Copies of this chain bind each other. A is one copy, B any other.
Protein backbone atom coordinates (compact mmCIF):
# COMPACT_ATOMS: atom_id res chain seq x y z
CA UNK A 1 0.00 0.00 0.00
CA UNK A 2 1.15 3.51 -0.70
CA UNK A 3 1.05 6.30 1.86
CA UNK A 4 -2.41 7.74 2.22
CA UNK A 5 -2.93 11.33 1.10
CA UNK A 6 -3.39 13.56 4.13
CA UNK A 7 -5.79 16.40 4.71
CA UNK A 8 -4.44 19.74 3.50
CA UNK A 9 -2.78 21.68 6.32
CA UNK A 10 -2.33 18.69 8.62
CA UNK A 11 1.10 17.19 9.30
CA UNK A 12 1.66 13.46 9.03
CA UNK A 13 2.15 11.76 12.39
CA UNK A 14 5.53 10.34 13.35
CA UNK A 15 6.42 6.87 12.13
CA UNK A 16 8.52 4.98 14.66
CA UNK A 17 10.26 1.73 13.75
CA UNK A 18 11.98 -0.17 16.58
CA UNK A 19 14.45 -3.03 16.03
CA UNK A 20 12.87 -5.26 18.68
CA UNK A 21 13.86 -6.06 22.28
CA UNK A 22 13.50 -2.43 23.36
CA UNK A 23 14.03 -1.73 27.07
CA UNK A 24 10.79 -1.89 28.95
CA UNK A 25 11.69 -1.10 32.59
CA UNK A 26 15.18 0.24 33.11
CA UNK A 27 15.51 3.52 31.15
CA UNK A 28 12.98 2.63 28.40
CA UNK A 29 13.89 5.69 26.38
CA UNK A 30 12.34 4.59 23.08
CA UNK A 31 8.93 3.81 24.57
CA UNK A 32 9.10 6.94 26.73
CA UNK A 33 9.83 9.12 23.72
CA UNK A 34 6.86 7.56 21.91
CA UNK A 35 4.61 8.28 24.89
CA UNK A 36 5.80 11.90 25.05
CA UNK A 37 5.08 12.37 21.33
CA UNK A 38 1.56 11.02 21.85
CA UNK A 39 0.84 13.50 24.64
CA UNK A 40 2.38 12.02 27.82
CA UNK A 41 -0.30 11.63 30.49
CA UNK A 42 -2.86 12.88 27.96
CA UNK A 43 -1.88 10.24 25.38
CA UNK A 44 -4.53 7.85 24.05
CA UNK A 45 -2.69 4.74 22.94
CA UNK A 46 -3.99 1.62 21.20
CA UNK A 47 -1.84 -1.50 21.31
CA UNK A 48 -2.25 -3.99 18.45
CA UNK A 49 -0.66 -7.35 19.37
CA UNK A 50 -1.83 -9.14 16.20
CA UNK A 51 1.69 -10.15 15.11
CA UNK A 52 1.95 -12.60 17.99
CA UNK A 53 -0.16 -15.57 19.00
CA UNK A 54 1.02 -15.23 22.58
CA UNK A 55 -1.85 -13.93 24.68
CA UNK A 56 0.10 -11.88 27.22
CA UNK A 57 1.87 -9.47 24.86
CA UNK A 58 -0.87 -6.87 24.41
CA UNK A 59 -1.59 -6.66 28.15
CA UNK A 60 2.11 -6.40 28.88
CA UNK A 61 2.42 -3.26 26.76
CA UNK A 62 -0.74 -1.86 28.33
CA UNK A 63 0.91 -2.26 31.75
CA UNK A 64 4.17 -0.68 30.50
CA UNK A 65 2.37 2.37 29.12
CA UNK A 66 0.28 2.69 32.31
CA UNK A 67 3.50 2.66 34.33
CA UNK A 68 4.52 5.66 32.22
CA UNK A 69 1.35 7.39 33.45
CA UNK A 70 -0.56 7.14 30.18
CA UNK A 71 -4.15 7.49 31.36
CA UNK A 72 -5.86 5.97 28.34
CA UNK A 73 -4.33 2.84 26.86
CA UNK A 74 -6.19 -0.18 25.53
CA UNK A 75 -5.35 -3.36 23.67
CA UNK A 76 -7.24 -4.09 20.42
CA UNK A 77 -7.41 -7.84 20.52
CA UNK A 78 -7.38 -8.49 16.77
CA UNK A 79 -6.89 -12.18 16.06
CA UNK A 80 -8.58 -12.66 12.70
CA UNK A 81 -9.73 -10.61 9.69
CA UNK A 82 -13.32 -10.38 10.99
CA UNK A 83 -12.08 -8.49 14.07
CA UNK A 84 -10.82 -5.73 11.75
CA UNK A 85 -14.43 -5.02 10.72
CA UNK A 86 -15.53 -4.22 14.33
CA UNK A 87 -16.77 -0.64 14.47
CA UNK A 88 -15.54 -0.14 18.04
CA UNK A 89 -11.98 -1.00 16.96
CA UNK A 90 -12.02 1.44 14.04
CA UNK A 91 -13.49 4.18 16.27
CA UNK A 92 -10.86 3.53 18.90
CA UNK A 93 -8.13 4.02 16.28
CA UNK A 94 -9.89 7.26 15.24
CA UNK A 95 -9.72 8.55 18.82
CA UNK A 96 -6.10 7.55 19.48
CA UNK A 97 -3.05 9.77 19.48
CA UNK A 98 -0.76 6.75 19.04
CA UNK A 99 -0.89 3.16 17.79
CA UNK A 100 1.66 0.56 18.86
CA UNK A 101 2.23 -2.66 16.87
CA UNK A 102 3.91 -5.44 18.83
CA UNK A 103 6.44 -7.97 17.58
CA UNK A 104 5.74 -11.50 16.37
CA UNK A 105 5.33 -12.54 12.75
CA UNK A 106 4.89 -9.74 10.20
CA UNK A 107 2.95 -12.04 7.85
CA UNK A 108 0.28 -12.41 10.54
CA UNK A 109 -0.04 -8.63 10.54
CA UNK A 110 -0.25 -8.34 6.74
CA UNK A 111 -2.64 -11.26 6.24
CA UNK A 112 -5.00 -10.25 9.08
CA UNK A 113 -4.93 -6.44 8.73
CA UNK A 114 -4.30 -6.05 4.96
CA UNK A 115 -7.12 -4.28 3.10
CA UNK A 116 -9.42 -4.05 6.17
CA UNK A 117 -11.04 -0.97 7.79
CA UNK A 118 -8.52 -1.02 10.66
CA UNK A 119 -5.57 -0.90 8.23
CA UNK A 120 -7.26 1.85 6.22
CA UNK A 121 -7.91 3.87 9.40
CA UNK A 122 -4.27 3.63 10.51
CA UNK A 123 -3.05 4.73 7.06
CA UNK A 124 -5.49 7.62 6.76
CA UNK A 125 -5.02 8.86 10.32
CA UNK A 126 -1.22 8.63 10.21
CA UNK A 127 -1.35 10.95 7.19
CA UNK A 128 -3.32 13.38 9.39
CA UNK A 129 -1.23 13.21 12.58
CA UNK A 130 -1.64 9.84 14.33
CA UNK A 131 1.73 8.53 15.55
CA UNK A 132 2.37 4.90 14.63
CA UNK A 133 5.09 2.79 16.26
CA UNK A 134 6.03 -0.82 15.65
CA UNK A 135 8.68 -3.09 17.12
CA UNK A 136 10.29 -6.07 15.38
CA UNK A 137 7.53 -7.52 13.13
CA UNK A 138 5.60 -4.32 13.85
CA UNK A 139 8.52 -2.32 12.38
CA UNK A 140 8.90 -4.59 9.35
CA UNK A 141 5.30 -4.05 8.23
CA UNK A 142 5.43 -0.24 8.34
CA UNK A 143 6.74 0.36 4.78
CA UNK A 144 5.06 -0.42 1.51
CA UNK A 145 7.61 -3.14 0.79
CA UNK A 146 8.00 -5.47 3.78
CA UNK A 147 10.76 -7.95 4.49
CA UNK A 148 8.71 -11.05 5.33
CA UNK A 149 11.63 -13.37 5.98
CA UNK A 150 14.99 -14.54 4.71
CA UNK A 151 18.42 -15.94 5.43
CA UNK A 152 21.11 -14.74 7.84
CA UNK A 153 24.61 -13.75 6.78
CA UNK A 154 26.49 -10.76 5.46
CA UNK A 155 26.50 -11.57 1.72
CA UNK A 156 23.61 -10.68 -0.59
CA UNK A 157 22.41 -13.75 -2.49
CA UNK A 158 19.56 -14.32 -4.91
CA UNK A 159 16.56 -15.46 -2.91
CA UNK A 160 18.04 -14.45 0.48
CA UNK A 161 15.00 -12.30 1.23
CA UNK A 162 11.24 -12.62 0.85
CA UNK A 163 9.41 -9.37 0.20
CA UNK A 164 5.66 -8.90 0.63
CA UNK A 165 3.37 -5.89 0.54
CA UNK A 166 3.27 -4.07 3.89
CA UNK A 167 1.13 -1.37 5.51
CA UNK A 168 2.64 1.37 3.34
CA UNK A 169 3.10 4.28 5.77
CA UNK A 170 6.35 5.06 3.94
CA UNK A 171 7.27 4.05 0.41
CA UNK A 172 10.93 4.91 0.22
CA UNK A 173 12.37 2.70 2.95
CA UNK A 174 12.58 -1.04 3.46
CA UNK A 175 13.13 -1.95 7.11
CA UNK A 176 14.88 -4.90 8.72
CA UNK A 177 15.09 -5.48 12.49
CA UNK A 178 17.14 -7.45 15.08
CA UNK A 179 19.72 -6.35 12.53
CA UNK A 180 23.19 -7.08 13.85
CA UNK A 181 21.92 -9.48 16.48
CA UNK A 182 20.65 -11.77 13.70
CA UNK A 183 23.28 -10.91 11.05
CA UNK A 184 20.93 -9.54 8.40
CA UNK A 185 23.08 -7.25 6.23
CA UNK A 186 23.02 -9.75 3.35
CA UNK A 187 19.26 -9.88 3.14
CA UNK A 188 18.91 -6.10 3.38
CA UNK A 189 21.44 -5.68 0.52
CA UNK A 190 19.51 -8.29 -1.47
CA UNK A 191 16.27 -6.38 -0.88
CA UNK A 192 17.65 -3.09 -2.23
CA UNK A 193 19.38 -4.86 -5.13
CA UNK A 194 15.99 -5.88 -6.59
CA UNK A 195 14.94 -2.30 -7.20
CA UNK A 196 17.42 0.39 -6.19
CA UNK A 197 14.81 3.10 -5.65
CA UNK A 198 14.51 1.78 -2.10
CA UNK A 199 16.70 2.80 0.82
CA UNK A 200 17.43 -0.04 3.24
CA UNK A 201 17.32 0.52 7.01
CA UNK A 202 18.65 -2.13 9.41
CA UNK A 203 17.57 -1.55 13.02
CA UNK A 204 19.57 -3.09 15.86
CA UNK A 205 17.70 -4.26 18.94
CA UNK A 206 16.74 -1.55 21.45
CA UNK A 207 17.26 1.01 18.68
CA UNK A 208 14.64 2.95 16.73
CA UNK A 209 14.14 5.56 14.05
CA UNK A 210 11.65 8.35 14.68
CA UNK A 211 10.58 9.62 11.24
CA UNK A 212 9.17 13.14 11.50
CA UNK A 213 6.52 14.65 9.19
CA UNK A 214 9.31 16.13 7.02
CA UNK A 215 10.69 12.66 6.26
CA UNK A 216 13.79 13.08 8.40
CA UNK A 217 14.51 10.44 11.00
CA UNK A 218 16.42 10.53 14.27
CA UNK A 219 18.09 7.47 15.75
CA UNK A 220 17.16 6.72 19.37
CA UNK A 221 18.46 3.82 21.41
CA UNK A 222 21.44 1.93 22.75
CA UNK A 223 22.86 0.48 19.52
CA UNK A 224 22.85 1.62 15.88
CA UNK A 225 20.99 1.85 12.60
CA UNK A 226 22.56 0.78 9.30
CA UNK A 227 21.45 2.71 6.21
CA UNK A 228 22.00 1.15 2.78
CA UNK A 229 21.66 3.82 0.08
CA UNK A 230 21.74 2.43 -3.50
CA UNK A 231 21.09 5.76 -5.24
CA UNK A 232 24.55 5.69 -6.85
CA UNK A 233 24.54 1.96 -7.56
CA UNK A 234 26.42 1.21 -10.78
CA UNK A 235 25.21 -2.35 -11.24
CA UNK A 236 23.50 -5.30 -9.58
CA UNK A 237 23.77 -8.85 -10.86
CA UNK A 238 20.63 -10.13 -9.12
CA UNK A 239 18.74 -10.70 -12.37
CA UNK A 240 21.36 -13.12 -13.68
CA UNK A 241 22.31 -14.78 -10.36
CA UNK A 242 21.03 -18.26 -9.69
CA UNK A 243 19.12 -19.07 -6.51
CA UNK A 244 21.53 -18.95 -3.55
CA UNK A 245 24.33 -17.40 -5.60
CA UNK A 246 26.14 -14.29 -4.34
CA UNK A 247 25.17 -11.02 -6.03
CA UNK A 248 27.61 -8.36 -7.30
CA UNK A 249 26.59 -4.94 -6.06
CA UNK A 250 28.77 -2.04 -7.20
CA UNK A 251 28.54 1.36 -5.55
CA UNK A 252 26.19 0.97 -2.57
CA UNK A 253 26.65 3.68 0.06
CA UNK A 254 26.49 2.61 3.70
CA UNK A 255 26.05 4.57 6.93
CA UNK A 256 26.05 3.33 10.51
CA UNK A 257 24.24 5.80 12.73
CA UNK A 258 24.09 5.85 16.53
CA UNK A 259 21.65 7.61 18.83
CA UNK A 260 21.19 11.29 18.05
CA UNK A 261 22.20 11.04 14.38
CA UNK A 262 19.66 12.23 11.82
CA UNK A 263 19.03 11.16 8.23
CA UNK A 264 16.94 12.96 5.64
CA UNK A 265 15.17 10.30 3.58
CA UNK A 266 14.53 12.64 0.62
CA UNK A 267 17.92 14.37 0.34
CA UNK A 268 19.85 11.35 1.71
CA UNK A 269 21.91 13.63 3.96
CA UNK A 270 23.23 12.64 7.38
CA UNK A 271 23.43 15.12 10.28
CA UNK A 272 25.53 14.00 13.23
CA UNK A 273 24.98 15.34 16.75
CA UNK A 274 27.55 17.87 17.89
CA UNK A 275 30.47 16.40 19.82
CA UNK A 276 29.86 16.18 23.54
CA UNK A 277 26.12 15.67 23.12
Which residues of A pack against B, CB within 8 Å? 1-3, 80-82, 105, 107-108, 110-111, 114-115, 119, 144-146, 148, 159, 162-166, 168, 171, 193-198, 230-231, 233-236, 238-240
**B3–A115 touching, CB < 8 Å:** no
- Given A145-B165, A163-B165, A165-B145: A1 in contact with B105 (beta carbons within 8 A): no
Question: Closest 6 A-B residue pairs measured CB to CB?
Answer: A115-B197, A2-B2, A107-B239, A114-B195, A164-B194, A165-B195
- Nearest B residue (CB) for A198: B165
With the chains together, A165 CA to B170 CA distance in Å? 13
Residues of B within 8 A of A144 (CB): 2, 144, 165
Residues of B within 8 A of A194 (CB): 107, 110-111, 114, 148, 164-165
Residues of B within 8 A of A230 (CB): 115
Interface centre among A2, A119, A164, A195 (most CB of B within 10 A): A195
With the chains together, A195 CA to B146 CA distance in Å? 10
Q: Is the interface of A mostly helix, strand, loop or mixed?
A: loop
Residues of B within 8 A of A231 (CB): 115
Interface centre among A80, A108, A163, A193 (most CB of B within 10 A): A163
Interface centre among A107, A108, A144, A239 (most CB of B within 10 A): A239
19 inter-chain pairs at a CB distance below 8 angstroms, sorted by A residue, are A2-B2, A2-B171, A81-B235, A82-B234, A107-B194, A110-B195, A110-B239, A111-B236, A111-B239, A114-B194, A114-B195, A115-B230, A115-B231, A119-B197, A148-B194, A162-B162, A163-B163, A163-B165, A165-B195
With the chains together, A110 CA to B192 CA distance in Å? 10
With the chains together, A240 CA to B51 CA distance in Å? 11
- A-B contacts besides A81-B235, A111-B194, A119-B197, 14 pairs, CB < 8 Å: A2-B3, A81-B233, A108-B240, A110-B239, A111-B193, A111-B196, A111-B236, A111-B239, A114-B197, A115-B198, A148-B194, A163-B165, A165-B195, A165-B198
